[in-house]
With several copies, the nearest count.
Chain A
Amino acid sequence: MDLSLTEEQEMLKAAVRRFVDTEYPKETLLELAATGQNAPSEPWSKLAATGWLGIVIPTEYGGEGGSFTDAGVLFEELGRGPVPGPHLSSAALGALTILEAGTEEQKRSLLPDVAAGRRTISLAITEADYQWDESDVQAIAAPDGDGYRISGTKVYVYDAAAATDIICAVRTENRQHVGLALIPADAPGVSIRKLEGFAWNLAEVRLDGVQIGQSAVLSGRAMPGSSPFSGGWLALEQAVATAIPLLCAYQVGGSQQVYEMSVEYSRTRIQFGTPIGRFQRVQDHIINLVNELDSARWTTYEALWKLDTEREAADSVHLAKTVSSAAYYNACNHAHEVHAGVGSTTEYGLTLHTTASRTLYQFLGDPKFHRRRLADALGL
């Protein structure tokens, strides 16, 4: 038993923290939020240069070949920002999906670009009947010459506006298979529209007869003699299951950051002649917060450890997402109670997390979704 990070992981953690502090100071984050950009060229190109975007990609495909726990450390630190951009979508979800669903040729051609940040990916799964199940995929891939013509509307797609390519879950025209197509974001017939409001980097992706070739189908799991789309959904589910703990780590990082902000504020804000943290009610907000934080932290890192050691991890993954989604959401609420009015001002920075926590609460399945899956995994 050893619940500490390795020396290398501690070094990675420190390096990422320095990077985030330097390249994504609060002013930058506020400006990105105000302009609605989440992957401007400047800090993003520096992030790409670090090689971290290839952290889960094997070295043979140009990545770093890190462990899941290594990647957890990276995403936790990015979550402290919260650093926007398609790092989770591309470097975790996208890379893992290509690894699971791609052919050897696709892996060789795509993954080095993903690792280098030249290509950024967003996963378009959900549609109008918003749910995360295979049966909810209604976008259609119709045969068209040598390739396919894809039509449908994907909604609430995370990071779509910042991606060079969209991996779309699509159904074959005969409705028998749900598979994956890799579509350039600038392909004719693709239109991407940001969804405004309290949503964080969500977009609608319209596919209006988008033409793709055979090679754009991620067909590494296709059954011989069957549609190249066959096996795609299963591969996606497996990729998502391994990416979820990395999303959780990002939520842990966000929770850690609002915890530290709250403790600091409890020391420096004076009311009634004393630091507000001397009042038990204020203390209790922070205690509730740290309990949520630590619950998320340990369920998440145990799931990562199970993935790294190739243990059966389904229960831990569903547990981690259930706990971490609620933890980040509630952590922000508790932080708002500590900060009261000041926390509601945009300039203070807390609302960046509040906004992120809401979108991530439901992304890849909200607590009630993962609770049901957890019950199944436990054999109930």
Chain B
Amino acid sequence: MDFEPRYTAEQEAFRTEVQEWLHENIPAGIEHPADSIDLTYEQYQLRRDLGRRLGEKGWLWPTAPEEYGGGGLTVDHSVVLEEEIDGYNLSLPPYYDSGGRLGGNSILVWGSEEQKQEFLPKIFKGEIRTWQLLTEPEAGSDLANAKTSARRDGDDYVINGQKVYVGSAHGSDYMWTITCTDPEGDRHHNLSWFMVPSDLPGISVFPMDLLSSAGESGAGSGVKNIVYFDNVRVPARNLIGGENEGWKVATTHLELEHGTGGKIGRNWIVDRIFEYCKTNNRRGEPLSKDVDVRERLIDIYIDAEIGRLFQLRNYWMRHSGAHITYEGPQASYFRKQSGLRIATGILDILGPAALTKDSQWGAGEGHIEAHQRAAIIALHPGGTTDIQKVIMSRRIGIGRQQRERAGALA
């Protein structure tokens, strides 16, 4: 076994190239605010701009196929890229974009050649940004109950309905959404996916007022929105995967959303609390020397390490083509549950300094306070903890001889 990317000489040369490039191309002012809801339009534009430049180099989606505008690079290259941009507290892409990882992958699996040619280069080069629209007021965990309707009318589909908890701020170019194309049809056989241009008439977007938008780190999702569709006419060529074939597409989309992709990178909030406890005193001693604080730090460390290993395992499985079953939702479930435990541990360590973003009395420049809120709300998006366990059970085959297969991935 080898738990570290093998850094070949070629990789190390690539690292130098990446470091130099990032040093030159990452502008000041791009830093992530404590709460992603506070990311300004200017900061967002700096990130979009960085994304476009990364896209030109094939570094925005480094392992995506070159023929569709991706980087065509190896996993070892992408690891270097992810590690290096992580050092700037940024991720790939440096803004919320469900286009590449979720929509893009789904199109790779289920789109026609024409659709791949049309959408993928724009996504992989960072020219467009895509939101995903899944949840509806009556379709949360039960996504297959989506009621937003798409009715065929000539060369178009006409979409009506409402989507909620849609990330994020500062607009999108496309909306990647699941609709119901046959209200009378059988469950799982009446849904269809569309890539909807965001500027079509009849689309309106309203921000939601939430405890947190659960943008924990990296890109963060910022504010969440309600999106209304009022007789929105979408060209039929934007239907992905075929009419009433939407659940197939959903299995691919959800597979990735449920954590199968894995991740390389630090747990920023854990780094932050360790650093804080080592460098801040209470009663003249570093916090990290207090017996209760040490207990909590070890709790946090154990959770963080297991989470890191689950993500690393999934990253490796995803990129080595290993046979994936329950590992995606397992990592997702663990991240959600341990995230809340970590937040409790931090509250135990810091007391009310964890609860205020006051510049003098709040710990960690507002990041800790934002995390206290985000850790609660992060239990739900991308499938609740309960849903992760539903999927794990099917994939393991608990109580059933046939194990459910994971969704197809590109």
- Which residues of A are interface residues toward B (Cβ below 8 A)? 1-5, 69, 129-131, 135-136, 155-156, 195-200, 202, 204, 263, 266-267, 270-272, 274-284, 286-287, 290-291, 294-295, 298-299, 301-302, 304-306, 319, 322-323, 329, 332-333, 336-337, 340-342, 344-347, 351, 354-355, 358-359, 361-362, 366-368, 371, 374-375, 378-380
Contact = CB atoms under 8 A, between A and B. Distances in A.
Given A129-B282, A267-B399, A282-B398, A1 B3 contact: yes
A329 B1 CA distance: 26
Given A4-B1, A204-B361, A270-B138, A375 B297 contact: yes
B344 interface: yes
A340 B400 contact: no
B266 to A, nearest CB: 15
A198 B369 contact: yes
Given A198-B356, A340-B141, A375-B294, A286 B396 contact: yes
Interface residues of B, number: 86
11 contacts: A1-B6, A1-B76, A5-B1, A195-B355, A195-B362, A197-B362, A199-B352, A275-B400, A279-B386, A302-B309, A344-B211
B356 A199 contact: yes
Contact of A345 (B76, B208, B379): B208
Contact of A271 (B142, B330, B389): B142
Contacts of A195: 352, 355-356, 358, 361-362
A337 B357 contact: no
B17 interface: no
Contacts, number: 238
Contacts of B360: 204
Contacts of B372: 198, 358
A290 B295 CA distance: 25
Nearest to A329: B344
B399 A1 contact: no
B377 interface: yes
B376 A341 contact: no
Given A359-B352, A380-B294, A298 B302 contact: no
B390 to A, nearest CB: 8
Nearest to A2: B2
B297 A380 contact: yes
Nearest to A295: B306
Contacts of A200: 355
A197 B366 CA distance: 9
A305 B2 contact: yes
Most B C-beta atoms less than 10 A away, residue of A199, A277, A279, A347: A199
B401 interface: yes
Nearest to B303: A295
A344 B165 CA distance: 10
B324 to A, nearest CB: 13
Prevailing SS type, chain A contact patch: helix
A290 B386 CA distance: 16
Given A130-B351, A267-B397, A298 B369 contact: no
B164 interface: yes
A285 to B, nearest CB: 8
B406 interface: no
Contacts of B197: none
B355 A323 contact: no
A336 B210 contact: no
Contacts of A196: 356-358
Interface of B: 1-6, 75-76, 79, 135, 138, 140-142, 145, 164-165, 208-212, 274, 277-278, 282-283, 288-289, 292, 294-295, 297-298, 301-302, 305-306, 309-310, 312-313, 316-317, 320, 322, 326, 330, 333-334, 340, 344, 347-348, 351-353, 355-358, 360-362, 366, 369, 372-373, 376-377, 379-381, 384-386, 389-390, 392-393, 396-401
Contacts of B326: 290
Nearest to A380: B288
Contacts of A4: 1, 320, 322
Contact of B389 (A283, A322, A375): A283
A378 B356 contact: no
Which of A272, A287, A347 is most buried by chain B, counting CB atoms within 10 A of its CB?
A287
Contacts of A2: 1-2, 316, 320
Contacts of A284: 389
A277 B142 contact: no
Nearest to B137: A342
Contacts of A337: 379, 384-386
A138 to B, nearest CB: 11
Contacts of B393: 277, 280, 283, 286-287
A2 B320 CA distance: 8
A345 B145 CA distance: 21
Interface-central residue, B1, B212, B351, by most chain A CB under 10 Å: B1
Given A136-B283, A366-B351, 11 more contacts: A197-B369, A200-B355, A204-B358, A267-B401, A275-B399, A302-B3, A305-B2, A337-B379, A344-B376, A345-B208, A380-B278
A333 B340 contact: yes
A329 B313 CA distance: 24
Given A197-B362, A263-B398, A337-B385, A131 B330 contact: no
B2 A263 contact: no
A294 to B, nearest CB: 7
A366 B361 CA distance: 18
Contact of A281 (B312, B348, B389, B401): B389
